[in-house]
Amino acid sequence: MEASKISLLNANTLELHYWFNDQSHSMDAVVQNKCEREFLAIIEEIAKVFDVEALIETIPLAEGGIIRWFKLLLKQDKKHVVITALITALATGVIITPIGTSMSEIGKQIIDKIFEDSGIKELEKEILRENLKNLQEDTETKELEQKKIEEEIKNLRLDSEIKIHQISTNKVIPKKKSNFYNSLEKYEKVKQISITVEDKENNQILDEAIILRDKFREFIIVSDDLEPIKDENAIIEIISPVLKKGDYKWRGIYKGQDLLFNMQSNEFKTQVQTGDIEFKNGTSINCLLVIKRKIDNDGNEIVTERNILLVNSYFVNDTPIETTEGKRYRQKKEADKRQLNLFEE
């Protein structure tokens, strides 16, 4: 592509600028390292979605608050120029999008801007010139090769749209963003940050956004808790029932995994402890299981609790025996369903 033309496809550098409320040019090194670790993790996570390995280089610090440049490098493939620009733009989009705002629409706008950029046609010409080096340059060959390149770019766009959905549902990225702003929010010296997309080779600014300090909280996750998973007919093979009183965990196999559970059905626990229900090797229960989850500091989903709220039935020689509480629960669900059907009619 011609260096003189401004094109989003030349974007491969992100400028992260910390603006201070004084005239100094120094920053707490621990805070800076924390922020940039999370910032780089966001770029790497986006690159992982695109199935590429990102090499990120830093350019020396500049004064004026503190300015950091991060240059994204991918293998020297012409089509990777597009992916580099996408990752660079999406990293910016992530950082400037508040928690609770979907990345889907923003990602779609980014894809539209990049694939409708004038540089795409120039890129296609460059690829065509390279491909025709070792081919006979007759008109038919040139036309076939041109169509092939156009199809590849079209497929790259369609694939990018799929990647946007994966990024918008990714749990690691918002947590990393939250960590980034949480560190800045606690560091009172920073009055705002700006992030700029640049074509460093041609010294051109392609896009810029500023986030003021009073907006930092909009980017921080209030609670790390996720929506609990509810399984109303969970089958658990009991390995170790608790036969004495106390808050001891039961042990059983659920979906092939050996796990610990909190038995919160006092009615069922009492029947077990009094001997009304006996457990033998391989005894299973059908129960209402609620699995509580949260996101850890690295953005990984972890299970914090597995609670058995009630037992619908237990099995004796593979025959289900409905419990009293299970019967009440079943009848309530049936009554609720009838009432809903009446309402709909």
Q: Which string of DSSP letters, residue by residue, matches 320-345? A: EEE-HHHHHHHHHHHHHHHHHHHHH-
Q: Of the candidates 290, 169, 289, 182, which has an alpha carbon nearest to the alpha carbon of residue 235?
A: 289
Confidence tier at 5 by pLDDT (50, 70, 90): low
The structure tokens 């409708």 sit at 116
Q: How far is CA 219 from the centre of its chain?
A: 15
CA distance 174 to 213: 18
Contact 183, 190 (CB under 8 A): no
Cα 127 to Cα 153: distance, rounded to the nearest angstrom:
11
Q: What is the pLDDT of residue 3?
A: 41
- Per-residue pLDDT tens over the stretch 108-119: 999 999 999 888
Per-residue pLDDT tens over the stretch 67-82: 999 998 876 667 788 9
Q: With 90 as the cut, is the pLDDT of residue 185 above it?
A: yes
Cα gap 155→17, rounded to integer Å = 35
Question: Is 237's pLDDT higher than 70?
Answer: yes
Residue 127: pLDDT band (50, 70, 90) is confident
| Alpha-carbon gap, residue 314 to 320, rounded angstroms | 6
Q: Looking at the predicted structure, is the pLDDT value of residue 1 above 80? A: no
Task: Judge contact between 217 and 184, C-beta under 8 A.
Answer: no
Considering the entire predicted model, what is its pTM?
A: 0.80
- Phi and psi at residue 90, to the nearest 5°: -70, -35
With a pLDDT cut of 90, the percent of the chain lying above it is: 59
Residue-level pLDDT at 54: 83
Please say if the pLDDT value at position 253 is more than 60.
yes
Q: Quick check: 306 and 336 in contact, CB under 8 A?
A: no
- Please state at what angle helix 29-49 crosses helix 78-95, rounded to 10 degrees: 130
Residue 56 has pLDDT above 80, yes or no: yes
- In sequence order, the 6+-apart residues with CB closer than 8 A to the CB of 202 are 3, 4, 6, 10
Taking 60 as the threshold, does the pLDDT of residue 217 lie above it?
yes
Is the torsion defined by CA of 119, 124, 127, 133 positive or negative? negative
> What mean pLDDT comes out for the span 303-321?
93
- Annotated domain spans of the chain: 8-219, 225-344
CA 174/CA 74 separation, integer angstroms = 24
Q: What is the pLDDT of residue 88?
A: 94
Largest alpha-carbon pair distance within the chain? 90
Report the 10 Å Cβ neighbour count for 26.
Answer: 12
